[in-house]
Amino acid sequence: MIPPLVGLLSRGQAATTTGWKAHADAVRRLQESYRALPADAPVRLAKRTSNLFRPREVLVGSGLDVSGLGGVIEVDAEARTAEVQGMCTYEDLVDATLPHGLAPLVVPQLRTITLGGAVTGLGIESTSFRHGLPHESVLEMDVFTGAGEVVTCGPTGEHADLFRAFPNSYGSLGYATRLRIELMPVTSHVALRHVRFTGTDALQQAIAEVTDTGAWEGEAVDAMDGTSFEPGRHVLTLGRFVEADGPGSDYAGQQVYWRSVGERETDLLTTYDYLWRWDTDWFWCSQAFGAQHPVVRRIWPRRLRRSDSYHRLVGLDQRFDVMNRLDRRAGRPRRERVVQDIEVPVERLGEFLDWFDEAVGMRPVWLCPLRLRDAEAGTDPWPTYPLEPARTYVNVGFWGAVPVGDDAPDSPLNRAIEAKVAELDGHKSLYSESFYDRETFDRLYDGPHLAAVKQRYDPHDRLTSLYDKAVRRR
């Protein structure tokens, strides 16, 4: 029986599905746009939006036409699967699945992240301690390669090498046009407990316990993430799917979610609002634009309280160098943008936070535990982002700018973070700036294997390599 929509699509709306014919037409246009490119032209997407934070050349008006690949093809409620186009945002995907009482196993925090982007670029969220990363719930996908072909691949079979290397390839192996994904049943609401810790040892132990047992103090945990406000003040937020009446807390209005984490012990959100709890204020980053000031918030349109609105403002700042101009005028030291997500083993989380406080000094930071899903020890199922199976990691996200003075253009803090994370047997996401030399990059992200797969599916080197994308910013 389909559950009532109240609580599932609170303040949202059900989406219509695209259908197979429209999908086939969109793929045909994509192929035609490929054939229209000069033979020596690099193959890139012609799109205006992005959730990347590394400087890059924006290609508009040419490239691959993906304009018809942004929807959900169909939802099979009985099989708990969905056929989804690669450029479909999670906002639209959730709007299509929630009316069936279903949701993707992992829904990244920001509405405009696309399914294809989360798979090729490694999304994460509070269910990742149970369900891993988004690519682990993909059953099959079609990839448009640098050779202009649509290749259907899965975990086994002729093209399993492409399927396994695709996560963390960021378009260097091609672009997903269709993905069949698993869905999970969800309830109307999510009940939250905000558990406080003063020391990182106890915090680490709690994360490990919940990951191992799926429970805390005898109560099941379906979702887990955390906020480290400052040294000695850490909050682990534990979520449980429940059926309840009423709208729940509204953090898209005057109240701000991240502040509630430090102020409340329990909370209740609709499932829809829980999924987008971080998007409304881009975690805490909207305060940089004044959006959390009570007066500004009252006049800031509700429909614009979303991460993509703030991302556009960041783009304007970078385009016109607003932050540096204001700093120079005020006589302040130049700031370095430190926008990164890293992962370290749970037992080394405290060591990283201690170092981070001393070297960078940015708080709060986001904590998101994860473990590969159903992977056996000794296997290496995802070679381009080699997390150790059966080992618990914690993603630490931090986003802001730190005064460093005249050295800011050399990015000393970002470089130090890379070195420290590697020292702690961790990993760094590649959606933002990276500075690795080629040898280190290939060692961390299995460059030789990625190059071999790229050679098979992009023999004429039409697609930009991962190193060129992530480090050389091409």
Q: What percent of the chain has pLDDT over 90?
A: 84
Name the pLDDT band for 48 (thresholds 50, 70, 90).
low
CA distances from 4 to 102, 107, 188, 189 (A): 12, 21, 8, 12
Whether the per-residue pLDDT at 1 is higher than 60: the answer is: no
Classify residue 380 by its DSSP letter.
-
pLDDT digits (tens, 9 = 90+) for 352-367: 999 999 999 999 999 9
- Read off the pLDDT of each residue in 35-58 and give the average, rounded to a whole number: 74
What is the three-class DSSP state of 320?
A: helix
Whether the per-residue pLDDT at 7 is higher than 90: the answer is: no
- Read off the pLDDT of each residue in 33-53 and give the average, rounded to a whole number: 80
Contact 263, 274 (CB under 8 A): no
Check if 20-185 and 321-435 are the same fold: no
**CATH class assigned to 321-435:** alpha beta
Task: Write down the domain spans for the chain.
Answer: 20-185, 321-435
Amino acid at 30: L
How much is the pLDDT for 229? 98
- Read off the pLDDT of each residue in 268-295 and give the average, rounded to a whole number: 96
The CATH classification number of 20-185 equals: 3.30.465.10
Alpha carbon distance 330, 244 (integer Å): 52
Amino acid at 46: A
- Mean residue pLDDT across the chain: 93
Whether the per-residue pLDDT at 451 is higher than 60: the answer is: yes
What is the three-class DSSP state of 239?
A: strand
How much is the pLDDT for 56? 59
What is the three-class DSSP state of 178?
A: strand
Alpha carbon distance 444, 8 (integer Å): 40
Q: Which of 283-292, 314-323, 437-446, 454-463 has the lowest mean pLDDT?
A: 314-323
Classify residue 172 by its DSSP letter.
S
Tokens of 399: 């986003």
Name the pLDDT band for 320 (thresholds 50, 70, 90).
confident
Whether the per-residue pLDDT at 58 is higher than 60: the answer is: no
Name the pLDDT band for 203 (thresholds 50, 70, 90).
very high
Helical spans, DSSP H, in 389-446: 412-423, 438-445
| Measured torsion, CA atoms of residues 185, 190, 196, 201, in degrees rounded to the nearest 10 | 10
CB within 8 Å of 43: residues ≥ 6 apart:
34, 37, 63, 64, 146, 462, 463
How much is the pLDDT for 157? 96
How much is the pLDDT for 50? 65
| Measured torsion, CA atoms of residues 110, 133, 77, 143, in degrees rounded to the nearest 10 | 90
How much is the pLDDT for 61? 44
How much is the pLDDT for 60? 46
Please give, one letter per residue, the 3-state secondary structure of 30-67.
HHHHHHHCCCCCCCCECCCCCCCCCCCCCCCCCCECCC
Name the pLDDT band for 242 (thresholds 50, 70, 90).
very high
pLDDT digits (tens, 9 = 90+) for 124-179: 999 999 999 999 999 999 999 999 999 999 999 999 999 999 999 999 999 999 99
61 vs 247: which has the higher pLDDT: 247
Helical spans, DSSP H, in 240-321: 257-263, 271-275, 294-299, 307-320
How much is the pLDDT for 54? 63
The DSSP bridge pattern shows strands 365-370 and 393-403 to be: antiparallel
Name the pLDDT band for 200 (thresholds 50, 70, 90).
very high
How much is the pLDDT for 5? 58
Residue 226 CA from chain centroid, whole number: 16
